[in-house]
Amino acid sequence: MFSKATEYALRATIYIAQKSSEEHKLGIDEIAMAIDSPRSFTAKIMQLLTKDNKVVRSVRGPNGGFFQTEKERQLSVRTVLQVMVKMRCWINVFWV
C-alpha cells in the first residue's frame, strides 16, 4: 500500500521517537541499521523528515544527529504520510 520510502520513513520516525532525546541524538548509520534500510536511502528520507522540522529535528557536527522533541513525538502517522506522499485535502487545504 505504501512505497518503500514511506515504510522506511514510518520505521525511522518510530525508532527516533523511542530512542532519541535532545541530549541523545541518533546518527544516520544507527537509524539505517535499526530500520534495515540502505544508508543513502535513509539519508534521503531523513532530509524529507527534517525539512522545516516537521517530523524530526537534526543538528550538524560531531555531536549532531537526529532527534525528536516532545512536540514531534505527539505528531500523528498522518503527518509522516503527508511529508512522504504530499497528501493534501482537496476540499479544504486548511484541514491539513
The reported pLDDT for the residue numbered 58 is: 95
Average pLDDT of the residues of the chain: 88
pTM attached to this predicted model: 0.83
Q: Which domain holds residue 77?
A: 4-95
Report the number of distinct structural domains present in the chain: 1
Per-residue pLDDT for 86 more than 80?
no
pLDDT > 90: percent of the chain: 62
Which CATH number covers residue 43? Answer: 1.10.10.10
Provide the b/e sequence for 34-69 (b: ≥16 CB within 10 Å): bbebeeeebeebbebbbeeeebbbbeeeeeebbbbe
Span 9-53, pLDDT tens digits? 999 999 999 999 889 999 999 999 999 999 999 999 999 999 877
Span 42-72, pLDDT tens digits? 999 999 999 877 899 999 999 999 999 999 9
